[in-house]
Amino acid sequence: MIDPFVTARDLRDAITRGETSAEAACERTLARIAAIDPTLHAFLHVDGEGALARARALDRQSGPRGPLHGVPVALKDNIAAPGMPATAGSRMLEGYQPVFQAGVVDRLLAAGAVIVGKTNCDEFSMGSSTEHSAWGPTRNPWSLDRSPGGSSGGSAAAVAAGLVPLALGSDTGGSIRQPAAFCGIVGAKPTYGRVSRYGLIAFASSLDQIGPLARTVDDAELLLDAIAGHDPRDATSGDADTSGAPPQPNAEDRLRVGVPRHLIGDDVDAEVRRAFDTALDALAGAGADVREVTLPHSPLGVAVYYLVATAEASSNLARYDGVRYGFRAPGADALAAMYDTTRSGGFGAEVKRRLMLGTYVLSAGYYDAYYLKAQQVRTLIREDFDRAFETVDVVAMPTTPTPAFALGERLEDPLQMYLADVFTVTAPLAGLPAISVPCGLVGQPALPVGLQFIGRAWNERTVFRAARACETVAPPSAHPAV
């Protein structure tokens, strides 16, 4: 019997050595999904037949094997893969099946992965709890009445519950790292441009980035290495070497960790602060140089993010009008009425809220006052990080200000929901790589807490080095009960 919490590396190696097969690993994955997912609702679609056919073909394969040979992987439902729906959690795309595949899917298949299905997410990635999915919420494996975070909550819950060893999510303002923290796993947002966005259903194009969710830092790095690299189909895809720059420091180089204490105020849960400080003390005890840094403009991050992201969403989602593809409301007797009824019926409340905000800040008379000003402050946020990196290798802060909140707790208070991203929005605004790694359990019931590291652009290796050091001194103490 294959351990449901086996690492991707160990599973791959066992398949390569002939101790098990890709087919057996796939069968175990599908059986566990069938047994547990009706409770969690992490998956929107499971491609059992396609996954088994792929696994059997890999078992017959001779010659060199890829770095993910036989490893089951799940995709967030905003990533295009032929033969599977891509709804982005929205009624607007109900029944839509892409006829092409995303750049990351090309790379996963080349690496030998077995794609088993698509995971639940907030509609068009707009949310922090996966409660804004048109298909209903996902539940947190640690406590079924809690949110798994969002918008990649389905991917995070699937990995945390041992349904799959690896999953892909997308991160616009924290949508990989925040659910990773809530579910007690590792989630990484690469440098903007590190991973192709071709085939990713857009939310905010200058912020969106696909990244890995895994149970260990090594597995997250393995998956990122498999999907990273230039893609000529994505004009924002970078040319930097996928191994990261600069090269991995020598083991004897002391890791320098900067902590912006001025950002970690009384609005951060006391137990989260205590877990964060305990992990930093353990890092210092293991030889890291932990020092204070200042990020003067980061307190403006949430405001800047919700101006930039909603403006870009307003532009990107204009294509869903009932004419070209997707949902079309019946019964309209004129074009304007068809637009109105289609967009009113196809989009959920949170998407409508953000589209209204974005349309407003782009409108005549308000563009300079809101959107342009937000882009200027965005530059100042990036410059603050550049100055910090003159003296430190990574910046550390809590991933979230609280542990996972209860389902329904914040649905009527959008501002409180948005503040769940207070520590995660600045990395995508600055285009920087960041990772969340578990740093303890707090409260009753016991809920995970995440610690976040942000690094220099294109320097994922140092970010992973810091996360690995944290994982060593503050390892996860348990798996969820499901």
Query: Which residue type sits at 392?
Result: V
Determine whether 175 is an active site residue.
yes
pLDDT at 186 over 80: yes
Q: d(Cα 36, Cα 209) in Å, to the nearest integer? A: 29
Q: What is the pTM of this model?
A: 0.96
Span 114-125, average pLDDT = 98
Catalytic residue among 76, 118, 125, 436: 76
Query: Which residue type sits at 281?
Result: D
Question: Is residue 358 within 8 Å of 345, Cβ to Cβ?
Answer: no
Q: How many CA atoms lie within 13 Å of 317's alpha carbon, on the beta-carbon side?
A: 32
User: What distance lies between CA 378 and its chain's CA centroid?
Assistant: 21
Question: Is residue 73 within 8 Å of 12, Cβ to Cβ?
Answer: no
Q: d(Cα 149, Cα 156) in Å, to the nearest integer? A: 8
User: Of 82-86, 300-304, 416-420, which range is least confident?
Assistant: 416-420
Catalytic residue among 151, 155, 170, 314: 151
DSSP codes, 74-105: EEETTB--TTS---TT-GGGTT---SS--HHH
Q: d(Cα 246, Cα 460) in Å, to the nearest integer? A: 9
User: Of 69-83, 154-168, 317-331, which range is least confident?
Assistant: 317-331
Question: Mind listing the pLDDT tens digit for each residue in 59-100?
Answer: 999 889 999 999 999 999 999 998 999 999 999 999 999 999
Q: Which two tokens stand for residue 164?
A: 């799959």
Q: What residues form DSSP beta bridges with 398? A: 451
Tell me the longest C-alpha to C-alpha distance in the chain: 72
* Block residue for tokens 């088993």: 116
User: Of 9-18, 32-41, 137-146, 238-247, which range is least confident?
Assistant: 238-247
| More confident of the two residues 323 and 56 | 56
Span 360-389, average pLDDT = 95
Supply φ then ψ for residue 116, to 5 degrees: -100, -20
Q: Which two tokens stand for residue 426?
A: 């600045």
Q: What residues form DSSP beta bridges with 74? A: 117, 167
The confidence score (pLDDT) of residue 244 equals 45
Determine whether 206 is an active site residue.
no
Q: Is 450 helix (H, G, I), strand (E, B) or coil?
A: strand
H helices of 41-165, where?
48-60, 103-110, 153-160
Catalytic residue among 90, 125, 175, 298: 175
